[in-house]
Amino acid sequence: MTPDSPQNGNPKNISELEAVARQMRKDIVTMVFKAGSGHPGGSLSATDIVAALYFRVMRHDPKNPSWDGRDRFILSKGHASPVIYAALARSGYFPADDLWTFRKMGSHLQGHTDATMTPGIELSTGSIGMGLSYGVGVSLAAKLDSKPYHTFVVVGDGESNEGSIWEAAASANHLKLGSITAIIDRNRMQNDGFGADIMNMEPYPDKWRAFGWETWEIDGHDMSQVVEALEKARMPRNHPHPVAIVAHTTKGKGVSFMENNPDWHGKAPTPEQHKQAMEELSK
């Protein structure tokens, strides 16, 4: 696999990506259901973004997770681990049946990602707000070593309250890191409710622009927009500015009783709710 070859050499088209995202959403809800705990809402809002990255945009090799030429993906909001586990399983990093061990004793799929246990995970997480700083370091390493890989970081909406996010944003611009892209899962919610009530960050995209990032806004559930933005971000540019993609999303996307409902930040569905969710995600 060359530095410019896509995952498995077979990038998926838009309809295929949408089908993958539906399967990943089923995986997410079922993982949390079987575990009896987890974070479905923010995993479901980021699903289209992560599906587009792993099955179309990123250069990576499931058979060689430590391949030096791979693009780096960092899930800064690590509590949304079901979304990355679903992508890794469905792209071949480990058997899909492993998903049902999520959060179980001895499983390599813990509630927060663990880079020492799970193939394909770049960063062990726990405290939020740290992933972008790590991504800046990874991107700087690529620049210093003249490596062609790109670094993608998914940042949570609630994480944007953290000062460490903005320190990292300032550093990326100062260091002229053109090979890092932050994708903000802008679902407007966090653990304790609606973001505007907890810490109003508006005008939000303008903040990224003020920190020197080339900033775009997209519908984070329109797969065509998602792919176009991510592929454009990965292309070599004539200037060294990092890119921020503000993806407007819906927390709990795809499951009617979870959508735009802060209650589903971190809890598991009942058997009846799981059945309803599977029916809705199968339509």
Q: What is the pLDDT of residues 196-232, one digit of tens each?
A: 778 888 999 999 999 999 999 999 999 999 999 999 9
Q: Is residue 136 part of a domain?
A: yes
Considering the chain, what is the average pLDDT of its residues?
Answer: 94
**20 has a pLDDT exceeding 60:** yes
Residue 132 lies in a domain: yes
The 10s digit of each residue's pLDDT in 110-160 is: 999 999 999 999 999 988 899 999 999 999 999 999 999 999 999 999 899
In the chain, what percentage of residues exceed pLDDT 70?
A: 96
Domain containing residue 210? 9-281
**pLDDT category, 109, cuts 50, 70, 90?**
very high
Residue 2 lies in a domain: no
Long-range contacts of 228-232 (CB under 8 A, 24+ apart): 230/49, 230/52, 230/53, 230/56, 230/57, 230/152, 230/181, 230/183, 231/56, 231/57
Identify which of 58, 14, 40 has the alpha carbon closest to the alpha carbon of residue 226: 14
Q: How far apart are the two ends of the chain, measured CA to CA in Å? A: 37
Q: What percent of the chain has pLDDT over 90?
A: 86
Task: Give the residue among 269, 267, 278, 281 at the shortest CA–CA distance from 42.
Answer: 267
pLDDT score recorded for residue 1: 40
**CATH number assigned to the domain comprising residue 194:** 3.40.50.970
Is residue 3 one of the residues assigned to a domain? no
Per-residue model confidence (pLDDT) at position 110: 96
pLDDT at 194: 82
Q: How many domains does the chain have?
A: 1
Q: Is residue 4 part of a domain?
A: no
| Cα separation, 42 vs 253, whole angstroms | 9
